[in-house]
Structures are given as C-alpha cells and as structure tokens.
Amino acid sequence: MVFLDTSPVIYLIEQPTLWGQKSMARISTLLSGGEQLAVSDLVRMECQVGPLKRNDQLMLAKFAVFFASPDVQVLSITGAACDRAAIIRAQYGFKPLDALHLATAVENGCSLFLTNDNRLSKFPDIPSDVLT
C-alpha cells in the first residue's frame, strides 16, 4: 500500500501545469503495478480547503470521487499514529501535519510514501518517492 501525501493528490485531481502530469504518471504506474493507494482523513481534509475557499463544487466532487475509489483506502488518524507523530516531530522537527501523515503511513504498514516534499525523504521508517 502506497501512502499519498496531500500535494500529489491535489496535483492529480486539479491537474496544474507540469505537476498534474507528473502526479498522474506516477500514480498510474503504481496502480498498474497492482499497488493499493492510501490517504488519511487528514489528506482528505487538506484537499478540500482550496475548493472550499473558491466555492468550487465541481472540484470538491472530483475529490470525493477520488476518495471513494476502490483503489484508494482512507485511513483514520489513530491514537497510535498521534503518539508516533509526536516522536517524529521531536526527532526530525517536521511540521505537525507532515508528522501525522508519516506516522499514519507507518502505523498502517504502507510500503512507500509519495510526496513532493524532499525534506520528508530523510525520515528513515518508510521509503519516500519524491515527485520531481
């Protein structure tokens, strides 16, 4: 199972120039290789902020379809993930949301963390794939 950080999901759904194609290509490769995708409830929350600010109901609907896809498992933020996130923040100084994403991925046994944030690749408990 591959955990998707927020930015690759936003790029996939909103399709900004350059990043949209990169995210689509990488995620398509993962799916064609038989990988299950995972996000957390926190990723779902973050993805809705932009469309809500813009009152973009179409984009909100596109995100909802993505999160309801059988290829995507939405993971809850558990107490164990919060405890692990505290340790990650203390050891690596990551921002709270980043620490929660990483902790949720590790707690749920994800094999890869897809992000566009190169800083997160220094976290040793899960391999990272950084969109470039």
pLDDT tens for residues 35-78?
Answer: 999 999 999 999 999 999 999 999 999 999 999 999 999 999 99
Could you tell me the pLDDT band of residue 128, with boundaries at 50, 70 and 90?
Answer: very high
**pLDDT tens profile 90-121:** 999 999 999 999 999 999 999 999 999 999 99
Decide which of 1.10.510.10, 3.40.50.1010, 3.40.190.10, 3.40.50.300 is the CATH code for 2-130: 3.40.50.1010
Q: Where are the domains of the chain?
A: 2-130
Could you tell me the pLDDT band of residue 131, with boundaries at 50, 70 and 90?
Answer: very high
Cα torsion angle, 27, 75, 14, 71, sign: positive
Using DSSP, state whether 28 is helix, strand or coil.
helix
**pLDDT tens profile 80-90:** 999 999 999 99
Q: What is the pTM of this model?
A: 0.96
Q: What is the DSSP letter of 65?
A: H
End-to-end CA distance of the chain: 21
Helix (H) or strand (E) holding 83: helix 79-92
